[in-house]
Amino acid sequence: MAIQRVQVAIIGAGPSGLLLGQLLHKAGIEALILERQTGDYVLGRIRAGILEQVTIDLVDEAGVGARMHREGLVHDGFDMLFDGQRHRVDLAGLTGGQHVMVYGQTELTRDLMEARAGAGLPTVYEARDVAVHDFDTTHPRVTYTKDGVAHEIHCDFIAGCDGFHGVCRASVPRSAITEYEKVYPFGWLGLLSDTPPVHHELIYIATPRGFSLCSQRSTTRSRYYLQVPLTDKIEEWSDEAFWQELRLRLDEEGRDRLVTGPSIEKSIAPLRSFVTEPLRFGRMFLAGDAGHIVPPTGAKGLNLAATDVKYLSSALIEHYAERSDAGIDHYSQRCLRRIWRAERFSWWFTQLMHRFPDEGPIEAKLKSAELDYLMNSANGLKTIAENYVGLPLDFGA
């Protein structure tokens, strides 16, 4: 058994793990990242596309923001389309000039991977049988195998950045953890294509046929979503069937401008609201999807992960640099207040914009009336805008 000593063992090389590793490195704290998959597999998962300012600032703090600022698209608003009418949510005008950035999670992950490799920092890909031990003591351990060789890591802390299906949360005794979950009765069929976006900003669409989202990755690469029944299988959806259904959910302007082309990625993602309480278990912390999941309607998933990492990296730096555990002791509470606010917005926006199987005509009319009110109310538009750009970190402090 090869034994290695490191200050922080990070499980998972998605955006949470990589961002944490980069922030700790800049503070002189050594971390080893263990990742179950290959780097190419991680990059091949097409996920988030919208960065809040808090995330942009953190990527800059990590020193990996150059390409994001070069290639990312700043968006000052988005359209809502329902009952055949478009309404623009003027993010900048409603939030005193704030905006979001379109920059794919894949690109951010690539930037973080390249920065880590460039600094010669250790990441073990295709780490098998990762297991966490003794995290309720001052000497936590992590074991794994690589190419058939057993390894053991002795560390001060474990960062569970291993996503919803990871090993860290699953390793916490059930008596020590509370999980809140709501699974939605539909999924998102996503398609990525090298075609120019149908509009220069995003369009969130609510129709009797279901929700749709027109997003993008650049001025030449588009990302589209269709609400589909949970029973749908990806092989049932040809590219042509996708484009045909999207046309039915677009308005005439959208149909006229839509440029279709072959999919370069197509997948169906389930939607759930999920929160773990607490997020700290002795010397082990959960961050990102390991601790919570939001339905992607509010574009919060990746941004919540970034905020967790901001709080966790500050807490660990404070532990080592100032010999203070105040940040560590407050980590869970600080994250959860922000998590629940984002969960609430994501749940509210999802139930407003999607068709639920058990809904009847009156629910459709009530949702139309709510959308009509929100789009014609300065307060209604502001509540959507301030949540979409991301509430301030000290909101309600």
* Cβ contacts of 44 within 8 Å, gap of 6 or more: 106, 265
Choice among 300, 310, 319, 354 that is catalytic: 300
Number of residues engaging ligand PHB in binding (CB under 6 A): 10
Tokens of 376: 């014609």
307 binds, among ligand FAS, ligand PHB, none (CB under 5 to 8 A by kind): none
21 binds, among ligand PHB, ligand FAS, none (CB under 5 to 8 A by kind): none
Tokens of 278: 């607490």
Draw the binding track, 223-242, toward ligand PHB (x: CB under 6 A; -: no contact). Answer: x-------------------
Q: Quick check: is 367 catalytic?
A: no
Rule CB under 6 A: say whether 140 interacts with ligand FAS: no
Beta strands 31-34 and 2-11: pairing type?
Answer: parallel
Rule CB under 6 A: say whether 47 interacts with ligand FAS: yes
Rule CB under 6 A: say whether 106 interacts with ligand FAS: no
Rule CB under 6 A: say whether 295 interacts with ligand PHB: no
297 binds, among ligand FAS, ligand PHB, none (CB under 5 to 8 A by kind): ligand PHB
Tokens of 246: 């999207």
Choice among 15, 75, 184, 354 that is catalytic: 75
124 binds, among ligand PHB, ligand FAS, none (CB under 5 to 8 A by kind): none
Write the DSSP string, 310-349.
HHHHHHHHHHHHH---HHHHHHHHHHHHHHHHHHHHHHHH
CA–CA distance, 16 with 346 (Å, rounded to integer): 20
Name the phi and psi angles at 299, rounded to 5.
Answer: 55, 45
DSSP 136: T
Q: Quick check: is 296 catalytic?
A: yes
- Give a three-class secondary structure readout of 108-133: HHHHHHHHHHHCCCCEECCCEEEEEE
Hey, how many other C-beta atoms are within 10 angstroms of the C-beta on 259? 12
Smaller CB separation from ligand FAS, 13 or 371? 13
Judge whether 93 and 129 are in contact, CB under 8 Å.
no
Q: Quick check: is 311 catalytic?
A: no
Rule CB under 6 A: say whether 215 interacts with ligand PHB: yes
Query: Which of 227, 260, 263, 297: binder of ligand PHB (CB under 6 A)?
Result: 297
CA–CA distance, 118 with 225 (Å, rounded to integer): 35
Rule CB under 6 A: say whether 49 interacts with ligand PHB: yes
Draw the binding track, 298-327, toward ligand FAS (x: CB under 6 A; -: no contact). Answer: -xxxx--x----------------------
Smaller CB separation from ligand PHB, 166 or 296? 296
CA–CA distance, 205 with 83 (Å, rounded to integer): 9
Tokens of 140: 């936590």
CA–CA distance, 297 with 300 (Å, rounded to integer): 8
Smaller CB separation from ligand FAS, 22 or 363? 22
Choice among 15, 295, 296, 367 that is catalytic: 296
Smaller CB separation from ligand PHB, 215 or 332? 215
Residues β-bridged to residue 80:
87, 204
DSSP 222: E
Rule CB under 6 A: say whether 105 interacts with ligand FAS: yes
Residues at the interface with ligand PHB (CB under 6 A): 48-50, 213, 215, 223, 296-299
Question: Which residues are known catalytic residues?
Answer: 75, 204, 296, 300, 388
Residues at the interface with ligand FAS (CB under 6 A): 11-17, 34-37, 42, 47-49, 105, 127, 130, 161-163, 165-167, 269, 288-289, 296, 299-302, 305
